């Protein structure tokens, strides 16, 4: 345990705070397929839902919290630093880290660690630390609505940076030792588990965030909260697709709940079913034999207010 504590201390502050010293930006890297690591963009403080967020360049950023997947509905739209969002790429959204930044994300339930490129702002809810693209969530093995994670900023080799700029994953890091995982899990115990139902719509302004020194209001960020709920779209006739009873490879992950009664209510509203895992009840729809059928059911879930619902494919 003592050795694990020393290892953790060497990684920086878990509170994400820096005691002092210069805040050096990431090493410049050349452009790859129109995506570059320079200029590094930070932006001025901004306020969302009455909460002010202050972007900062913290080289030893290290924190624990909860992660979720996001973004198929944002495919093709600009990220906060002006890149085009690709849900299949290995990327993430963070409220305050410079754009881009590179972070190691560790799933605290398995110890698996992946390298991710942060190029967007979000999530603007206090109970989540980072939002992962679908590609990053799948590489990490995040198959539920939310998962406890460690997020640690790092300075990877140029070859790995170039790989991630193309959207492709790099090899996983060495699994985190059990002794260190025990410390990290203990730290996350005091945090509230994010509630998945019913999440509100994701809203994004089209203006990209400006580089350091930009004027307030130039930031583009993902906003989630009661004041940003968008009207539900009318469900299409395709949303009534019948789930396959056998051989289905596709599922719609609606959400995870700390209360069985809430999970039952959510399942009833979307025609799904409930399964228990640990202390949470998970609501899913399916299985479906095709991605198209699953996407139709996904539309149904989102019109019911479950905006964080996502399609999962069994491998």
Within a domain: residue 221? no
Asked if 197 and 271 sit in the same domain, the reply is no
Within a domain: residue 11? yes
Residue 183 belongs to domain with CATH number: 2.40.40.10
Within a domain: residue 191? yes
Cis peptide before 198 (omega within 30 of 0): yes
Contact (CB, 8 A) for 95 and 175:
no
Asked if 181 and 39 sit in the same domain, the reply is yes
Q: How far apart are CA 101 and CA 151, in angstroms?
A: 12
Contact (CB, 8 A) for 198 and 145:
no
Asked if 149 and 288 sit in the same domain, the reply is no
Asked if 181 and 74 sit in the same domain, the reply is yes
Highest mean pLDDT among 46-50, 88-92, 141-145, 307-311: 88-92
Within a domain: residue 64? yes
Residue 265 belongs to domain with CATH number: 3.30.70.1070
Asked if 196 and 255 sit in the same domain, the reply is no
Full domain range(s) for residue 249: 231-313
Asked if 184 and 56 sit in the same domain, the reply is yes
Q: What are phi and psi of 119, to 5 degrees?
A: -135, 15
- Using pLDDT thresholds of 50, 70 and 90, give the confidence band for residue 196: low
Q: How far apart are CA 96 and CA 80, in angstroms?
A: 11
Within a domain: residue 82? yes
Asked if 156 and 276 sit in the same domain, the reply is no
Q: Which residue among 185, 203, 221 closes a domain?
A: 203
Element (H, E) at 312: strand 310-313
Poorest-confidence range of 71-80, 172-181, 231-240, 255-264? 231-240
- Using pLDDT thresholds of 50, 70 and 90, give the confidence band for residue 83: very high
Q: How many domains does the chain have?
A: 2
pLDDT digits (tens, 9 = 90+) for 7-30: 343 333 333 332 333 333 444 445
Q: Please determine, for residue 140, whether its predicted confidence score (pLDDT) is greater than 70.
A: yes
- Model's pTM, two decimal places? 0.57
Contacts of 206 by beta carbon, 8 Å cutoff, 6+ apart: 77, 78, 220
Asked if 157 and 255 sit in the same domain, the reply is no
Residue 308: its pLDDT value, please? Answer: 67
Residue 314: its pLDDT value, please? Answer: 65
Work out the angle at residue 146's Cα, subtended by the Cα atoms of residues 145 and 151, and round it to the nearest 5 degrees.
145
- Using pLDDT thresholds of 50, 70 and 90, give the confidence band for residue 165: very high
Residue 207: its pLDDT value, please? Answer: 36
Residue 208: its pLDDT value, please? Answer: 40
Q: Which residue among 166, 188, 203 closes a domain?
A: 203
Asked if 237 and 186 sit in the same domain, the reply is no
Asked if 93 and 193 sit in the same domain, the reply is yes
DSSP notation for 40-78: -B----EEETTEEE-----TT-EEEEEEEEE-GGGTTSB
Within a domain: residue 208? no
Q: Decide: helix, strand or coil at residue 120.
A: strand
Within a domain: residue 27? no
The H helix count followed by the E strand count for the chain is: 6, 14
Other CB atoms within a 10 A radius of the CB of residue 86 amount to 19
Q: Please determine, for residue 125, whether its predicted confidence score (pLDDT) is greater than 80.
A: no
Q: What is the sign of the dihedral through the CA atoms of 274, 275, 281 and 283?
A: negative
Q: Please determine, for residue 290, whether its predicted confidence score (pLDDT) is greater than 50.
A: yes
Q: Decide: helix, strand or coil at residue 227.
A: helix
Q: How far apart are CA 122 and CA 92, in angstroms?
A: 9
Asked if 42 and 168 sit in the same domain, the reply is yes
Asked if 161 and 250 sit in the same domain, the reply is no
pLDDT digits (tens, 9 = 90+) for 231-289: 333 333 333 334 444 456 788 888 777 778 778 888 888 889 998 877 777 888 988 88
Residue 225: its pLDDT value, please? Answer: 28
pLDDT digits (tens, 9 = 90+) for 109-124: 999 999 999 999 988 7
Q: Please determine, for residue 135, whether its predicted confidence score (pLDDT) is greater than 70.
A: yes
Within a domain: residue 122? yes
DSSP notation for 239-298: GGPPPPSSS--EEEEEEEES-HHHHHHHHHHHT-EEEEETTEEEEEEEEESSHHHHHHHH
Highest mean pLDDT among 138-147, 170-179, 282-291: 170-179
Taking residues 220-226, what's their average pLDDT? 30
- Picking from 235, 302, 304, the residue whose alpha carbon sits closest to that of residue 70 is 302
Q: Please determine, for residue 94, whether its predicted confidence score (pLDDT) is greater than 80.
A: yes
How many residues are recorded in the chain?
A: 315
Poorest-confidence range of 10-19, 34-43, 125-134, 280-289? 10-19
Q: Please determine, for residue 34, whether its predicted confidence score (pLDDT) is greater than 80.
A: no
Residue 69: its pLDDT value, please? Answer: 86
């Amino acid at each position: 345990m003592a050795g694990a504590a020393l290892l953790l201390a060497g990684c920086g502050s878990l509170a994400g705070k820096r005691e002092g010293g210069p805040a050096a930006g990431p090493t410049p890297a050349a452009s790859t397929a129109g995506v570059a690591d320079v200029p590094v963009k930070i932006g001025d403080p901004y306020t969302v839902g009455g909460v002010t967020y202050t972007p900062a360049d913290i080289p030893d950023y290290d924190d624990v919290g909860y992660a979720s997947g996001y973004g198929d509905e944002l495919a093709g739209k600009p990220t906060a630093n002006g890149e085009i969002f690709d849900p299949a790429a290995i990327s993430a959204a963070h409220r305050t880290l410079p754009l881009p930044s590179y972070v190691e994300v560790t799933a605290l339930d398995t110890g698996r660690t992946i390298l991710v490129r942060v190029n967007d702002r979000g999530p603007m809810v206090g109970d989540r630390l980072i939002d992962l693209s679908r590609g990053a969530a799948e590489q990490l093995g995040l198959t539920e609505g939310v998962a406890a994670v460690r997020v640690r900023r790092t300075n990877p080799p140029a070859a790995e940076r170039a790989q991630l700029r193309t959207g492709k994953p790099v090899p996983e890091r060495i699994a985190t030792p059990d002794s260190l995982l025990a410390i990290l899990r203990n730290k996350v115990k005091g945090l509230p588990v994010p509630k998945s139902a019913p999440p509100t719509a994701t809203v994004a302004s089209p203006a990209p965030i400006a580089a350091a020194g930009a004027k307030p209001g130039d930031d583009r960020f993902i906003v989630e909260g009661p004041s940003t709920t968008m009207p539900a779209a009318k469900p299409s006739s395709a949303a009534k697709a019948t789930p396959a009873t056998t051989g289905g490879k596709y599922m719609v992950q609606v959400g995870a709940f700390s209360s069985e009664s809430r999970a039952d209510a959510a399942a009833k509203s979307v025609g799904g079913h409930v399964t228990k895992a640990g202390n949470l009840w998970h609501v899913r729809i399916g299985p479906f034999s095709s991605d198209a059928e699953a996407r139709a059911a996904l539309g149904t879930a989102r019109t019911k207010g479950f905006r964080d619902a996502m399609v999962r494919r069994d491998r």
